[in-house]
Amino acid sequence: MRIALGVEYNGAAFCGWQLQEAGVRTVQGCVEEALSKVANHPVVATCAGRTDKGVHALSQIIHIDVTAQRSMRSWVLGGNVNLPNDIGFLWAQEVDEQFHARFSARGRSYRYIILNRMVRPALLINKVAWDYRALDVERMQTAGNFLLGTHDFTSYRAVGCQAKQPVRTISRLSVTRQADYVIIEVSANAFLHHMVRNIAGVLMTIGCGEQAPEWAKAVLEARDRTAGGVTAPASGLYFQSVLYPEPYMFPQAVVPVL
């Protein structure tokens, strides 16, 4: 049986999603350990998109292959009993063998949250990015519009990115303000390593007035990572949702109210 599950996690205390050597705390390691206890046999979890150290997820999608017969409720509640408090299963759903959490995905969405005020966060430490400079969301949105569509995003990916090619298609990029919070939402067919964090870094530089909105386009056209400036911190980044074709209609993530 193949089962898809929705997973939320606070990535602050994890070294990313991907399983690493013994002793390194990863989301995948904790998820597989918990589900293996429910299944009573080893379980391997495949995710829709790997997240880096310190990055969070509102609804990461995974799939597992199991021989154990359990109810969907048992996979969720039994799994959660065996998980640490900073990870939780949201739902479970049986899927056919053609479904693949990563390769069946048609798009992914990320949310980047910036606390924009003079003083640093205390309650939301490691859950948001912080910028004391006044950010103009209209300038940031104008800049973001230059990134819509299909482009070579070499300037917006990490130097060590292992993707075979840098062309991606951004279908949506919005910048909004909610009181002291500036929220960047980006949807694309796929993302490169550090792509959203590098976009956020460029938009923040433009938002504070250090660069004109057109700089986002100039960085894009340079096709050179060194043209893009600072990579925004991982603490503000959330893996938000995944778009799949029918019949894979999964519950949507509930975005928390700040």
Stated pTM of the model? 0.95
Q: Name the residue range of residue 32's domain.
A: 2-104
Q: φ, ψ for residue 242 (rounded to 5)? A: -130, 140
The Cα–Cα gap between 258 and 183 comes to 11
Interval 18-39 mean pLDDT: 95
Active-site amino acid positions: 52
Average pLDDT, integer, range 245-258: 84
Check whether residue 96 and residue 35 sit in a common domain.
yes
Residues 53 and 169 in one domain: no
Count of domains forming the chain: 2
Does the residue 254 lie in any domain?
Answer: no
- Check whether 256 has a pLDDT greater than 80: no
Q: With pLDDT > 90 as the criterion, what percentage of the chain qualifies?
A: 93
Residue 88 main-chain phi, psi, to 5 deg: -150, 140
Q: Do 199 and 81 share a structural domain?
A: no
Helices in the chain by DSSP H: which ranges?
27-39, 72-81, 137-145, 195-207, 215-222
User: Quick check: 257 pLDDT over 90?
Assistant: no
Q: Are 16 and 105 in contact, with CB atoms under 8 Å apart?
A: no
8-state DSSP, 136: -
Q: Is 215 found in the same domain as 141?
A: yes
pLDDT at 43: 97
Residues 56 and 68 in one domain: yes
On the question of pLDDT at 127 being above 70, the answer is yes
Same domain, yes or no, for 119 and 175?
A: yes
Q: Span 224-239, mean pLDDT?
A: 95
- Does some domain include residue 244? no
In a domain, 246, yes or no: no
The CA-atom distances, in angstroms, between 218 and each of 139, 162, 203 are 15, 24, 13
CATH code for position 42: 3.30.70.580
The candidate with the shortest Cα–Cα distance to 128, out of 6, 12, 252, 229, is 12
Q: Is 110 labeled as ligand-binding?
A: yes
